[in-house]
Amino acid sequence: MLKPVRIRKGTDAPSVSVTPKAVLQPRVLVLASRYDLTCDFVVSSLCSLGVSYLRLNTEDLPAFELHLDPARPLLRGVSSELTFEISGEELAGIYFRQPTFLREASLSGRPPEEQFRRAQWAAFMRSLMVFDHCLWINHPARTYVAEHKGVQLQIATQLGFDVPRTIISNSARPVEWVAGTNDCVAVKGLDTVLVREGTSETFGYSNLFRPEDVHKYELRSAPMILQQGLRDKLDLRVTVVGDSVWCSSVTVQGQPIIGDWRLANTEAEFAKVDLPLTVIERCISLLRRLGLQFGAIDIALSQGTYYFLEINPTGEWAWLQEALGFPIADALTQLLSCGSNERCRSGK
pLDDT digits (tens, 9 = 90+) for 161-218: 999 999 999 999 999 989 887 788 998 888 877 666 666 666 667 888 888 888 888 8
Tell me the C-alpha distance between 227 and 299, whole Å.
Answer: 14
Q: Across all residues in the chain, what is the average pLDDT? A: 86
Q: pTM of this prediction?
A: 0.86
Tell me the C-alpha distance between 143 and 139, whole Å.
Answer: 6
How many residues does this entry show for the chain?
Answer: 348
Nearest C-alpha neighbor of 227 from the set 149, 148, 305, 144: 149
**21-138 belongs to which CATH class?**
alpha beta
Distances, alpha carbon 324 to alpha carbons 60, 242, 247, 249, 277, in Å: 33, 20, 10, 11, 21
Cβ distance 33 to 58 under 8 Å? yes
pLDDT at 197: 66
Nearest C-alpha neighbor of 259 from the set 311, 209, 224, 190: 209
pLDDT at 194: 67
pLDDT at 107: 60
Residue 327 burial by Cβ neighbours in a 10 Å radius (0-12, 13-18, 19+) = middle
Domains 21-138 and 148-162+231-312 share a fold: no
Tell me the C-alpha distance between 347 and 341, whole Å.
Answer: 10
pLDDT at 213: 85
Cβ distance 233 to 256 under 8 Å? yes
146: Cα separation from own chain's centroid: 11
19-42 core/surface letters (b: 16 or more CB in 10 A; e: else): eeeeeeebbbbbbbeeebebbebb
Crossing angle (nearest 10°) for helices 328-338 and 37-48: 60
Terminal Cα distance for the chain, rounded: 27
- Decide: helix, strand or coil at residue 61: helix
pLDDT at 198: 65
Domain ranges across the chain: 21-138, 148-162+231-312, 165-229
CATH for 148-162+231-312, options being 1.10.1520.10, 3.40.50.300, 3.30.470.20, 3.40.50.720: 3.30.470.20
Q: Which residues of the chain have pLDDT under 70?
A: 1-21, 99-109, 194-204, 261, 263, 340-348
> Is the peptide bond preceding residue 182 cis, with omega within 30 degrees of 0?
no
24: Cα separation from own chain's centroid: 26
Number of CB atoms found within 10 A of residue 263's CB: 14
pLDDT at 21: 64
Q: Are strands 207-209 and 200-203 parallel, antiparallel or unpaired?
A: unpaired
pLDDT at 22: 84
Tell me the C-alpha distance between 148 and 293, whole Å.
Answer: 17
Cβ distance 292 to 285 under 8 Å? no
